């Protein structure tokens, strides 16, 4: 691994170690600022982290004075930059929190619809007559806003800091405030059109053209690949891309920039192509909104062009360090951005691990004399090496940020990547042709561009349908622990970690994760209970995901179901069971049915008033208590009144009683003459605040744990009468049980 220390023995990697120290300080500061309420505490704790990291890294490189100096300088400047950024950017923004009579906001992105409200991002330029300039997230009263970048909105509203649950995600975007509209707005169309906002409008227009020229998933996929515009993509396609491990082709990154640069080099030659590629890549980065992965790729391209023109040796690790510093100077909070970490870790894997794996796999190809076969095998080996290296280096980031990781990424990348470049190049020609003649572009799209896109969609959906295409992060932790153990033993025995060894270890870990996934799904079942802003939602994992209680607010209930389908790699929606008729007013069922077609829909008696737009779902109406079978669990319906049912979920080794929505005076009647003991008792605030009923429930049900919707635990602490109390959040409580 000497590649990390020196550039082929000529010079120490001072910029690389400088950027590592700077990044570690910024990452520590970002993590603490996202958790702590007082950012000054985060700054002082970051200073303590600085001393610890500096001591550790300088000890590791004690024989390299220049690297030690680079580390110390990077850590010092990192601390200074975090302090300066907080004082000049963050604190002035937070100081504005409160009510305001007049807010003026310039939008930087297209506003999005959230059914009951609108969501947008922009720049706050004026507060009660005082000029300012801060990025904000905006909640609008209009559920279907029609606003574009450059539009200026003026309205009365409130400003506040982001809640702790969302603060880290907003800080990574350089957004420190949330603006909520209170009164009707006044909109000035396209009042502040900078070049960047014009680029975002162009990106949106190109995406719309792609979707018009190509049908359904093909057009949406092309828009995502070329412009990063994923709004038209179906839920099924999004899930398939995620589970199959090729979601990265829709996140504009170094792959897309390299394809663009390669296209220019083939057309203009290497000298002219590289000269044109850098400004074209910068323009492309502006069109897609300067994501971290594209900025990194543009810096790489600039280093490559400079080294070519100056006839110097290329140093990709130095370029990687330079790109990292640039992004952290723009916003130090981006150090914990999942997209940044995935992009840089994947690139590091391609630089460090891909060459030895490729060398080990290419050795047998020397015996192949037939050129066509040799070319095919060369593509296969190169793709496997690059994919394996990227997957292994991004594995820790995936396990940190996501609950599931695809296991078949090597296979799907092998099948798909060769068509990505073809689809992008043909897509660029298609969009250029559309400005000349739409009929000609439609003909070209139907007979030339659609087939590689159709192949990608087919491969993704086929791979995602396999039962063990993805694994839970917990299984990967176990597999990774086994891999680390083997590595330690090899190093202890002083074995050389050659490319062949790395390949064997990588595939062994993936097979171990697949085996653990298969065993876990055969032996263990899983439920998830989460708050949705209204009534809690219970998700049950199986071949299909079942959902109990969609009387909740629309978006959280539907989003929870879709997220669980990706995380658990489910084939679709099984049973949807409403325990109350509140879905008519809160819209939970409508949001679910808008995107999913369940195998079975069960509604209470008054659900005869279901909207005609969902009449094709053929709901089953229940009026009395009964039992419903969902996978290996039984759901007992306990009637409180014609509108509302409690339910008891029972399995061989787990039970849960849901009484949310039941009035205190109804509880005894619901439980009368029934054996309703349960491991988990699910309550809302109304029952938690009735001390008589609460004591009766604890004594009757004898739960091991009480799950409380909303804020019950803040009143009663972390336990009640010796029973642990857990507050439900949007992340939910996961319950695993033996089948």
The string of pLDDT tens digits covering residues 251-269 is 777 777 888 888 888 888 8
| pLDDT for res 609 | 55
- Give residue-wise pLDDT tens across range 686-716: 888 888 888 888 888 888 888 887 654 455 5
Most confident of 437-446, 573-582, 594-603: 437-446
DSSP conformational letter for 539: E
Contacts of residue 652, Cβ cutoff 8 Å, sequence gap at least 6: 632, 737, 738, 739
Indicate the pairing of strand 626-630 with strand 545-548.
Answer: unpaired
Beta carbons within 10 angstroms of residue 713's beta carbon: 19
Which residues are registered as beta bridge partners of 1? none
Q: Per-residue pLDDT tens for 622-657?
A: 666 678 888 888 888 888 877 778 888 888 888 898
The pLDDT, as a whole number, for residue 319 is 78
Does the pLDDT of residue 450 top 50, yes or no?
A: yes
What percent of the chain lies above the pLDDT cut of 70? 73
Specify the fold of 96-193: OB fold (Dihydrolipoamide Acetyltransferase, E2P) (2.40.50)
Band the pLDDT of 5: cuts 50, 70, 90: very low
Is residue 1 pLDDT above 50, yes or no?
no
Q: Which fold has domain 531-738?
A: Metallo-beta-lactamase; Chain A (3.60.15)
Q: In terms of DSSP bridges, do strands 723-727 and 705-708 run parallel, antiparallel, or are they unpaired?
A: parallel
d(CA 729, CA 36) in angstroms, rounded, equals 19
Q: Provide the pairing of β-strand 152-161 with 177-181.
A: antiparallel
Map 319-357 to HEC letters: HHHHHHHHHHHHCHHHHHCHHHHHHHHHHHHHHHCHHHH
CA atoms within 13 A on the CB side of 261: 25
Higher-pLDDT residue of 223 and 389 is 223
| pLDDT given at position 2 | 45
Q: In this structure, are residues 664 and 719 in contact, taking their beta carbons and an 8 Å threshold?
A: no
Q: For residue 271, what pLDDT is reported?
A: 77
Return d(Cα 426, Cα 432) in angstroms, integer: 10
Name the more confident of 348 and 623. 348
In the prediction, which pLDDT does 516 show?
A: 66
User: What is residue 3's predicted lDDT score, i.e. its pLDDT?
Assistant: 45
Nearest-angstrom CA–CA distance, 305 and 12? 22
Rounded CA gap, 265 and 305, in Å? 12
Kindly report, residue by residue over 215-241, the tens digit of the pLDDT. Answer: 778 888 888 888 877 777 777 788 788
Locate the domains of the chain by residue range. 2-93, 96-193, 199-354+417-466, 355-407+467-516, 531-738
The token duo for 30 is 């970002």
User: Length of the chain in residues, anyone?
Assistant: 739
pLDDT above 50 (res 9): no
Query: What average pLDDT does the chain have?
Result: 76
For residues 576 and 599, is the Cβ–Cβ distance under 8 A? no
Place of tokens 């009579």: 101
Q: What pLDDT sits at residue 482?
A: 61
Q: Please give the pLDDT value at position 518.
A: 65
Q: Cβ(674)–Cβ(700) under 8 Å? A: no
pLDDT at residue 502, as a whole number: 61
Residues 305-334, mean pLDDT to the nearest whole number: 77
pLDDT at 8: 47
- In this prediction, residue 735 has a pLDDT band, given cuts at 50, 70 and 90, of confident
Over range 385-398, report the average pLDDT.
76
pLDDT score recorded for residue 7: 46
Q: How confident is the model at residue 11 (pLDDT cuts 50, 70, 90)?
A: very low
Q: What is the pLDDT of residues 21-76, one digit of tens each?
A: 888 888 877 777 766 666 666 666 777 766 676 676 666 666 666 777 777 788 78
In this model, does residue 506 exceed pLDDT 70? Answer: no
Taking residues 489-495, report their average pLDDT. 58
- How far is the C-alpha of 508 from the C-alpha of 393, rounded, in Å? 16
For the segment 563-575, the average pLDDT, to the nearest whole number, is: 74
Q: What is the pLDDT of residue 323?
A: 82
Cα distance from N-terminal residue to C-terminal residue, the chain: 46
**CA angle 330–331–334, rounded 5-degree value:** 125
- State residue 166's pLDDT score: 64
Q: Give me the helices (H) in 402-472, please.
A: 409-434, 438-444, 450-464
pLDDT number for residue 481: 59
Which pLDDT band, with edges at 50, 70 and 90, does 359 fall under?
confident
pLDDT higher than threshold 70 for residue 341:
yes
Question: Which of 323, 320, 324, 329 lies closest to 351 in space, CA to CA?
Answer: 320
Pick the more confident residue, 60 or 17: 17
* pLDDT at residue 731 greater than cutoff 80: no
State the pLDDT confidence band at 170, using cuts at 50, 70 and 90.
confident
User: What's the confidence (pLDDT) of residue 50?
Assistant: 67
- Does residue 608 surpass a pLDDT of 60? no
What's the pLDDT at 476?
A: 57
At residue 427, does pLDDT exceed 50?
yes
């Amino acid at each position: 691994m000497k590649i990390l220390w020196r550039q082929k023995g000529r010079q120490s990697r001072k910029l690389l170690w400088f950027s590592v120290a700077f990044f570690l300080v910024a990452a520590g500061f970002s993590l603490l600022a996202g958790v702590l309420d007082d950012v000054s505490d985060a700054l002082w704790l970051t200073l303590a982290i600085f001393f610890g990291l500096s001591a550790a890294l300088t000890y590791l490189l004690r024989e390299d004075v220049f690297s030690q100096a680079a580390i110390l300088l990077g850590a010092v400047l990192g601390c200074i930059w975090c302090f300066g950024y907080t004082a000049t950017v963050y604190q002035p923004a937070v100081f504005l929190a409160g009510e305001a009579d007049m807010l003026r906001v310039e939008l930087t992105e297209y506003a999005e619809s959230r059914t009951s409200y609108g969501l947008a991002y922009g720049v706050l330029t004026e507060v009660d007559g005082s000029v300012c300039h801060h990025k904000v997230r905006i909640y609008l009263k209009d559920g279907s806003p029609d606003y574009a970048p450059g539009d200026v909105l003026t309205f009365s509203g409130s400003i506040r800091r982001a809640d702790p649950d969302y603060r880290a995600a907003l800080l990574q975007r350089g957004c420190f405030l949330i603006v909520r509209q209170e009164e009707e707005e006044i909109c000035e169309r396209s009042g502040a059109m900078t070049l960047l906002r014009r680029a975002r409008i162009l990106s949106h227009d190109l995406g719309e053209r792609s979707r018009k020229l190509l049908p359904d998933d093909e057009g949406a996929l092309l828009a995502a690949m070329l412009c990063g515009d994923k709004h038209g993509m179906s839920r099924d396609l999004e899930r398939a891309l995620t589970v199959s491990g090729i979601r990265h082709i829709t996140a504009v990154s170094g792959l897309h920039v390299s394809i663009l640069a390669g296209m220019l080099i083939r057309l203009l030659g290497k000298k002219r192509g590289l000269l044109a590629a850098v400004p074209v890549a910068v323009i492309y980065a502006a069109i897609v909104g300067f994501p971290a992965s594209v900025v990194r790729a543009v810096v790489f391209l600039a280093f490559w062009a400079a080294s070519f023109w100056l006839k110097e040796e290329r140093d990709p690790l130095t370029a990687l360090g330079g790109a990292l510093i640039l992004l952290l100077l723009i916003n130090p909070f981006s150090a914990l951005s999942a997209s940044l970490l995935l992009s840089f870790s994947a690139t590091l894997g391609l630089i460090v691990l891909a060459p030895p794996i490729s060398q080990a796999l290419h050795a047998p190809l020397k015996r192949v004399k037939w050129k066509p076969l040799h070319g095919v095998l060369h593509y296969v080996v190169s793709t496997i090496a690059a994919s394996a290296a990227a997957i292994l280096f991004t594995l820790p980031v995936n396990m940190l940020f996501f609950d599931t990781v695809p296991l078949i990424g090597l296979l799907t990348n092998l099948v798909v990547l060769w068509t990505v470049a073809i689809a992008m190049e043909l897509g660029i020609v298609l969009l250029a042709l559309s400005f000349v003649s739409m009929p000609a572009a439609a003909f070209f799209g139907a007979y030339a561009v659609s087939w590689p896109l159709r192949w990608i969609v087919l491969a993704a959906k086929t791979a995602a349908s396999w039962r063990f295409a993805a694994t839970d992060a917990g299984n990967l932790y176990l597999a990774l622990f086994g891999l680390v153990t083997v590595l330690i033993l090899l190093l202890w025995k002083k074995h050389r970690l050659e490319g062949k060894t790395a390949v064997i270890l990588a595939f062994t870990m993936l097979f171990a994760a697949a085996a653990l996934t298969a065993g876990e799904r055969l032996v263990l079942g899983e439920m998830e209970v989460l708050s949705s802003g209204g009534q809690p939602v219970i998700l049950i994992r199986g071949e299909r995901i079942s959902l109990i209680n969609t009387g909740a607010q629309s978006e959280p209930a539907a989003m929870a179901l879709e997220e669980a389908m990706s995380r658990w790699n489910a084939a679709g929606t099984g049973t949807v069971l409403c325990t109350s008729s509140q879905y008519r007013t809160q819209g939970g069922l409508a949001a679910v049915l808008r995107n999913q077609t369940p195998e079975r829909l069960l509604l209470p008696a008054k659900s005869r008033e279901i909207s005609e737009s969902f009449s094709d779902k053929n709901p089953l109406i229940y009026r009395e208590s009964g039992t419903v079978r969902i996978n290996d669990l039984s759901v007992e319906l306990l009637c409180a009144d014609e509108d509302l049912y409690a339910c008891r979920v029972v399995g061989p080794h787990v039970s849960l009683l849901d009484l949310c929505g039941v009035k205190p005076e109804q509880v005894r009647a619901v439980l009368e003459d029934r054996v309703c003991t349960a491991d988990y008792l699910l309550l809302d605030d109304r029952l938690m605040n009735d001390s008589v009923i609460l004591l009766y429930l604890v004594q009757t049900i004898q739960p091991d744990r009480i799950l409380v919707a909303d804020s019950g635990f803040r009143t009663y602490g972390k336990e009640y009468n010796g029973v642990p109390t857990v507050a439900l959040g949007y992340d939910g409580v996961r319950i695993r049980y033996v089948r």
